[in-house]
């Protein structure tokens, strides 16, 4: 057996040999690692950069415009009269065709005048008798005064003659009033149109007994004026306040009526082709609806408008000013705000929050948030992010977009 402590160690197990062997292994391993293809692993870990998205840009349009408000309303006749009988009697004749145009003073109906002619004759006879009694009383009073001056008549008798004269004067005045009333009643048997316009049909036919009077008179027909014609509409309290502020700021906008031009279109028209004037604005808001009543007037010489028709009225909501306009399609919504994408000078996409106005000739008015020199991204916004570079199309394409805006 060998003694462990005194047995000689093999030369290849010496510490020096072990250290040298380990060093050689490390070197060999490093060389092996260095020979591995590292390029493939790096390419997989770092993907290539994405190209900038291609977008179309266009410049906003600047134009002198006037903003308009549009209101829906209804036509009403400037003058409308219900023709009613003033006296009772049988209707003798109708003197018009249904729907005919009549002038002021034209005869429309005739009521049987014979009872009224007889009443007038009686009133005239009473007037003659009253006149004769007055003449007699006047003569007696004058004679009594002369007698009283000579002392040939008592004062009481002279006073009685004076009282008789006063009674005769009153009787004469009453008889004359009855005669005047009889003449009026006879005149009222001819029912005439008080205005020029279009008459409706006859509500009562010939031969019917009609009732006259200041109250409850039989309605015979109706006459409405055609030209001019009025258009009534209502504006909200907010609109009225805005018009007031514009008027006080010096803008040429009238809110009291009579000065402001307006235009109108009917329901089957696409343009506001009828010109008129704002005629009247009420002096108080309706507390139940919070609206202000207003009225415009239009000529209607061709009788195209009729009372009761609906229409849309356009009223200036601002003075003329230089506005910035863009296509409405480029406007996007971010929760409750509106914005557009803009490419800056470095072609970096930026969102611009904008305050919008109405649409004018197919373009949206931008009140604030955009300048005329800004380059608006009009196409390709689905690939755009804030702070990301974009590739605007060639100037020719941009010019085409600008031309389409103009």
Q: What is the mean pLDDT of residues 78-103?
A: 94
pLDDT at 395: 45
Using CA atoms, how far apart are residues 191 and 293, in angstroms rounded to an integer?
A: 35
Using CA atoms, how far apart are residues 213 and 219, in angstroms rounded to an integer?
A: 11
pLDDT at 383: 84
pLDDT surpasses 80 at 300: yes
pLDDT band at 393 (very low <50, low <70, confident <90, very high): confident
Q: What is the pLDDT of residues 147-189, one digit of tens each?
A: 888 888 888 888 899 999 999 999 999 999 999 999 999 999 9
Characterize the bridge pairing of strands 107-111 and 391-392.
Answer: unpaired
pLDDT surpasses 60 at 197: yes
Q: Hey, which bits of 299-348 come out as E strands?
A: 310-316, 321-327, 332-334, 337-343
DSSP readout, 171-226? HHHHHHHHHHHHHHHHHHTEEE-SS-EEE---SS-TT-EE--SSSSPPEEEEEE--
pLDDT band at 34 (very low <50, low <70, confident <90, very high): very low
Using CA atoms, how far apart are residues 325 and 230, in angstroms rounded to an integer?
A: 35
Q: Is the peptide bond before 295 cis (omega within 30 degrees of 0)?
A: no
pLDDT band at 46 (very low <50, low <70, confident <90, very high): low
Q: What is the mean pLDDT of residues 272-289?
A: 92
pLDDT surpasses 50 at 345: yes
pLDDT band at 110 (very low <50, low <70, confident <90, very high): very high
pLDDT surpasses 60 at 405: no
Least confident of 33-37, 292-296, 332-336: 33-37
Q: What is the mean pLDDT of residues 379-406?
A: 67
Are 365 and 66 in contact by the 8 Å Cβ rule? The answer is no
Using CA atoms, how far apart are residues 109 and 219, in angstroms rounded to an integer?
A: 12
pLDDT at 30: 45
pLDDT at 20: 44
């Amino acid at each position: 057996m060998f003694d462990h402590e005194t047995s000689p160690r093999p030369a290849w197990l010496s510490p020096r040999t072990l250290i040298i062997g380990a060093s050689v292994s490390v070197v060999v391993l490093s060389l092996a690692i260095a020979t591995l293809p590292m390029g493939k692993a790096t390419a997989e870990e770092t993907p290539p950069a994405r190209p900038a998205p291609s977008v179309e840009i266009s410049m906003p349009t600047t134009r002198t415009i006037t903003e308009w408000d549009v209101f829906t309303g209804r036509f009403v006749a400037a003058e409308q009269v219900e023709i009613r009988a003033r006296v009772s009697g049988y209707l003798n004749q109708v003197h018009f065709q249904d729907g005919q145009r009549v002038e002021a003073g034209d005869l429309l109906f005739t009521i049987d005048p014979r009872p009224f002619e007889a009443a007038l004759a009686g009133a005239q006879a009473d007037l003659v008798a009253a006149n004769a009694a007055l003449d007699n009383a006047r003569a007696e009073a004058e004679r009594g005064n002369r007698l009283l001056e000579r002392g040939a008549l008592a004062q009481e008798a002279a006073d009685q003659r004076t009282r008789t004269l006063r009674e005769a004067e009153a009787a004469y005045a009453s008889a004359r009033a009855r005669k005047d009333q009889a003449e009026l009643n006879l005149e009222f048997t001819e029912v005439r149109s008080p205005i020029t316009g279009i008459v409706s049909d006859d509500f009562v036919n010939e031969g019917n007994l009609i009732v006259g009077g200041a109250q409850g008179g039989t309605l015979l027909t109706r006459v409405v004026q055609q030209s001019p014609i009025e258009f009534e509409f209502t504006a909200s309290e907010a609109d009225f306040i805005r018009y007031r502020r514009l008027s006080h700021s010096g803008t040429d906008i009238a809110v009291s009526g009579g000065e402001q031009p307006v235009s109108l279109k009917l329901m089957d028209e696409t343009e506001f082709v009828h010109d008129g004037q704002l005629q009247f604005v009420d002096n108080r808001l309706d507390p139940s609806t919070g609206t202000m009543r207003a009225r415009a007037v239009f000529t209607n010489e061709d009788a195209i408008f009729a009372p009761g028709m609906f229409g849309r009225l356009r009223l200036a909501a601002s003075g003329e000013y230089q506005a910035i306009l863009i296509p409405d399609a480029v406007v996007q919504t971010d929760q409750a705000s509106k914005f557009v994408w803009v490419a800056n000078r470095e072609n970096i996409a930026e969102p611009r929050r904008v305050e919008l106005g109405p649409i004018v000739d197919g373009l949206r008015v931008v009140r604030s948030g955009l300048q005329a020199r800004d380059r608006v991204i009009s196409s390709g916004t689905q690939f755009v992010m804030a702070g990301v570079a974009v590739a605007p199309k060639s100037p020719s394409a941009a010019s085409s977009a600008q031309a389409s805006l103009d």
